[in-house]
Structure 1
Amino acid sequence: MTSQKQISSSQQTDSVSFEVNECGQINSPEPLVSSGATVVAKVGSSTLMGPDDELDRSFIRSLCEQICALRSRGLRVILVSSGAAATGRARLGFDARPSDIPTLQACASAGQAALTEAYAEVLAERGVPCGQVLLTRADVTDRTGYLNARNTLERLLELGAVPVVNENDTVSVREFTFGDNDMLGAIVATLIDADLYVILSDVAGLYTANPQENPSARLITRVEHVDGRIISMAGGTESSYGTGGMATKVRAGRAMLAAGIPMVVCEGRMPEALQRAVDGTVPGTLFAPAESASIHHEQARKLWIGLAGVSRGALIADDGACRALINRGASLLPVGVIDVHGDFNAGDIVSIYSRAGDLVARGICRFSSDEMRKIRGLRLDIISRFLSDRADSPAVHRDEMLVF
């Protein structure tokens, strides 16, 4: 039996819990999902590309074989695949990743067809159809587009196809500005109400320190809560292909914890990595609540607000307000707001941070930024004297807020 131990209190904050073990395996006593479940798998560009800077066809074949094996076990699989820009880069003759957006989009255009065709050819050999789904940020921030994307994915699964999802890099600037497809995969997982999200990465998972710099760094096998301590362990990306790093995976993990969906980060090129992730036996990091905690899936609207919506500003909440949001599911009242950042309108999505800078929640603000600057720190009875029409309105209502 593998020896497990909890990280000592000197290595954690009061609000975070994580585990390591000697072999670095997740070691779930049973598979993370069973027949009938939906699995979203995301593969990054650095995992897809071979040493010759070309698409690694043998890896794609192995990945498709694993997807088919999971389907034979009664699982539904959605693949979120990066790699279009990296594939196109090689086809257009670039030795290094371009830095300007038009060239990146041209690379994505050249590579997208080849990438989808590579998946489709291998899946077709096994009698499995493949459906391409290209999304932009606007598709998922617009409520109608969000629902249409969900319906398309659900119908493809019903028809026995494997949806292959990617950011529509040919028209989307945000893909190259705000991270990579780790969060897109998280949004797809919540959109389809998946049972498991697996990130097939070029690293084994989250470590207690950078393993390239610290030989005593340990692979964290389970994360039950994400706060500043966990975020500080995640570094940037050193890949010449991808745009993300462990930091984007931790953000995705935080989103999955809020959604009640387990997430695994593991090395994608490990033999049968996807299957072993589903079985809970892969070396990697599992983001999941404590086994004693009740797993609660937030309402779809809250998930859409918190994950798909674009934050237009920020509210800094005092300690009492943060405790009320986290422990009591309360609304955020103006009296609990100590600072306002950015310019936004009433009805825009804003992020709510603690004094320490931790992201606590995200939701729809019922006041504009100018109004919030006037009423922050004030009780409702005082606000009613000059905003009588919204005398009883919180800054952010609990029904329009996702608490992380």
Structure 2
Amino acid sequence: MTSLLVDANYLVVKVGSSLVTNNGEGLDQKAIAAWADQIARIVKQGKHVVLVSSGAVAEGMQRLGWKKRPTLVNELQAAAAVGQMGLVQMYESCFSLHGMHTAQILLTHEDLADRKRYLNARSTLRTLLDLGVIPIINENDTVATEEIRFGDNDTLGSLVANLIDADALVILTDQPGLYSADPRKHADARFIQQGMAGDIELEKMAGGAGSAVGTGGMLTKILAAKRAARSGAHTVIASGREHDVLIRLANGELIGTHLRAGQIKTLAKKQWLADHLRLSGRVVLDDGAVKALTQDGKSLLPIGVVAIEGSFERGEVVACVDAQGHEIARGLVNYTSLEASRILGQPSSEIERILGYIDEAELIHRDNLILI
């Protein structure tokens, strides 16, 4: 088997903080120059690359003379604001040596949760790629609060992969890839070279549900691969310490862990729904409604809902959960939480009598719903 990057035309490459900041000591110009060189070379092979790069806070701390990472949100945001200047400046200077331009894109979850802003971001990124520009993406830490944060750049990378319909997501870290257990604690840990994105056993190995074993951040990478697979993007988790790792992967060498996407590309609107990290509420379904959604591909009707949780408005994204609380789908709801509470368990023919009007016969139409 050869690398999943061989036939990939659109790539999202995520580079971890330790790879660009001398393990947190400030930006490593030599390392960043090496990334720029590798990306420039694979772009000249005909590939389009978006780079998701950490490092702003570490650079900001160095510029401000801070020896210890702050804990206050406003100080972290200040460090990020200062550090972004250095991060983008260095990438721009390194890529200019190859005759290439870069563009800075800072995102928050709200940018992708709002349909209009999502489409604007998508259009801008695709245009930049068509122009041969390298977008440098990071979370907008300067304005992001806990409520609108992605939480980590692995998640951000997967969302960007969905956003641009990438063929592959490359997560470069300081580890060789995924192991069956933490190799620092278990000498018999087995290296996982190939797998399927979304495999629940991988989540368990990485410290997810049903496992007490963690591998130092690998879970976020496994979940990122699962999310990227929704739009048909494969994921490679590899060591950024490997010499010319991007070049070798693009040329077919099997480095790191390769997780294949098992599904075809999701329709753009449903992909956008799946990318919502924070939802406005939940609707609890009975067994019949669960079957209608998961097996029959039907819309969600009020009669199949047994409970409403949270407060939401018409047109917001809500989760659909079964009686045990497991999320099975999410979608754009046609009624507010107050209205939904009044019509739950009722046939659609009763909506107008109960509410005095009817917008839609469905609580969530199947065209506005995606299975999780």
Query: Per the alignment, in what secondary structure is the counterpart of residue 394 of structure 1?
Result: coil
In structure 2, give the amino acid aligned to 1:307.
Answer: D
Change (3 A) 1:64 1:359: farther
Q: So what's the TM-score if we normalise by structure 2?
A: 0.86
- Which residue, 176, 187, 194 being the options, matches 1:204? 176
- Give the corresponding residue for 2:348: 380
Change (3 A) 1:315 1:265: farther
Shift of 1:319: 4.4
Partner residue, 2:279: 311
Q: 1:40 aligns with which of 4, 7, 12?
A: 12
**Structure 1's 227 and 75: CA in aligned 2 closer, same or farther, altered over 3 A?**
closer
Matched, 1:143 2:115: yes
Whether the aligned pair in 1 keeps the contact of 2:343 and 2:354 (CA below 8 Å) is: no
Report deviation, 1:197: 1.3
State the identity %. 39
Q: Measure how far apart 1:380 and its partner are.
A: 3.1
How far 1:177 sits from its partner (Å)? 4.8
Matched letter for residue 110 of structure 1: V
Q: Distance in 1 between matches of 2:18 and 2:182?
A: 19
1:337 shift after superposition: 3.1
> How many Å separate the matches in 1 of 2:43 and 2:337?
49
Q: Is the 8 A contact 1:264 1:277 kept in 2?
A: no
1:157 is the counterpart of 2:129: yes
AA aligned opposite 1:389: Y
2:313: which partner in 1? 345
Checking the alignment, whether the CA contact within 8 Å between 2:102 and 2:136 is kept in structure 1 is: yes
| Superposed displacement of residue 354, structure 1 | 3.7
> SS of 1:123's equivalent?
helix
Deviations 1:100-142 (A, max 9, x none): 1110110001100111111111111111111212223332222
Distance in 2 (CA, whole Å) between partners of 1:108 and 1:124 is 24
CA contact (8 A) 1:262 1:287 kept: yes
Letter of the aligned partner of 1:348 in structure 2? E
Q: Select which of 144, 148, 156 maps to 1:184.
A: 156
Corresponding position: 1:282 with 2:250:
no
- The equivalent of 2:358 in structure 1 is 390
Deviations 1:57-77 (A, max 9, x none): 222122112101211211111
Q: Deviations over 1:167-186 (max 9, x none)?
A: 22212224885411222222
**Mapped partners of 1:172, 1:334: distance in 2:** 36
Aligned CA RMSD, in angstroms, stands at: 2.8
CA contact (8 A) 1:34 1:75 kept: no
Q: Is the 8 A contact 1:259 1:303 kept in 2?
A: yes
Q: Distance in 2 between matches of 1:216 and 1:395?
A: 51
Instruction: Measure, in 1, the Cα distance between the counterparts of 2:292 and 2:253.
Output: 35
Contact 1:44 1:81 in 2 (8 A): yes
Q: What's the counterpart of residue 91 of structure 2?
A: 119
Q: State the SS of the aligned residue for 1:248.
A: helix
Using a 3 Å threshold, how does the CA distance of structure 1 residues 85 and 393 change in structure 2: closer, same or farther?
A: farther
Partner of 1:272: 244
Matched, 1:336 2:304: yes
SS at match of 1:396: coil
Counterpart secondary structure, 1:259? coil
Structure 2 counterpart SS, 1:250: helix
Query: Structure 1 residues 176 and 59, CA, compared in 2 at 3 Å: closer, same or farther?
Result: farther
- For residues 392 and 175 of structure 1, the distance between their equivalents in structure 2, rounded to whole angstroms, comes to 31
Would the aligned equivalents of 1:132 and 1:163 in 2 still touch at CA under 8 Å? yes
Q: Distance in 1 between matches of 2:126 and 2:24?
A: 37
Equivalent residue runs for 1:363-378 within 5 Å: 363-378=331-346
Cα separation, partners in 2 of 1:250 and 1:396, compared to 1, 3 Å? farther
* Count of equivalent residues: 364
Q: Deviations 1:175-217 (Å, cap 9, x if unpaired)?
A: 8854112222222222222111111123333433333333333
Deviation at 1:366, TM superposition (A): 1.7
8 Å contact kept, 1:330–1:398: yes
Q: TM-score, structure 1 length as denominator?
A: 0.80
The separation in 1 between residues aligned to 2:253 and 2:303, in whole angstroms, is 45
Partners of 2:147 and 2:135 lie apart in 1 by 20
Q: Is 1:313–1:351's contact at 8 Å kept on the other side of the alignment?
A: yes
